[in-house]
């Protein structure tokens, strides 16, 4: 199962790099979301996939009995999902603001701070 997930992570990273190399800002944001999901899946797989029970401790016991799932990667992935969604929402609003101000989504045409080569003369 880990090999299949490793292939899926590789595909997600490859697709995200492809999208992030595009000159369209919207594609870049979608690539950012994909690479975030690939990182989350990597953290989740690093915690080892087991068919263990939830990590609940019985009353009076000091440790869970038997094979239990590791809760730390699950907590990290849950936190990363929330942070990733916040980053996606911020980037989407920032992209919308740039589109309304500059009238384009292509990064080559977004020249507010730097002059065009023909304007330097």
- What is the rounded distance in angstroms from the CA atom of residue 4 to the CA atom of residue 54? 24
Quick one: which of 67, 72, 50 has its CA closest to 2?
Answer: 50
- Averaged pLDDT, 32-61: 84
- Which domains are delineated in the chain? 2-50+69-112 (1.10.287.3510)
Q: Are 87 and 31 in contact (CB under 8 A)?
A: no
pLDDT in tens, 68-85: 777 788 888 999 999 999
Can you tell me the distance from the alpha carbon of 105 to that of 109, in angstroms, rounded to the nearest whole number? Answer: 8
Phi, psi of 24 (to 5 degrees): -85, 130
> Is this model's pTM higher than 0.85 or not?
no
Average pLDDT over residues 11-30: 94
- CB proximity list for 58: less than 8 A, separation 6 or greater: 64, 65
């Amino acid at each position: 199962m880990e090999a299949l997930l490793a292939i899926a992570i590789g595909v997600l990273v490859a697709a995200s790099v492809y999208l992030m190399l595009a000159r369209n800002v919207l594609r870049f944001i979608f690539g950012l979301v994909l690479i975030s999901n690939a990182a989350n899946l990597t953290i989740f797989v690093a915690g080892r996939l087991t068919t263990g029970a939830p990590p609940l401790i019985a009353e009076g016991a000091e440790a869970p009995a038997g094979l239990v799932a590791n809760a730390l990667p699950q907590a990290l992935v849950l936190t990363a999902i929330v942070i990733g969604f916040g980053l996606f929402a911020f980037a989407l609003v920032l992209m919308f603001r740039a589109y309304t101000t500059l009238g384009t989504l292509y990064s080559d045409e977004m020249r507010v701070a730097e002059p065009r080569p023909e304007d330097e003369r």
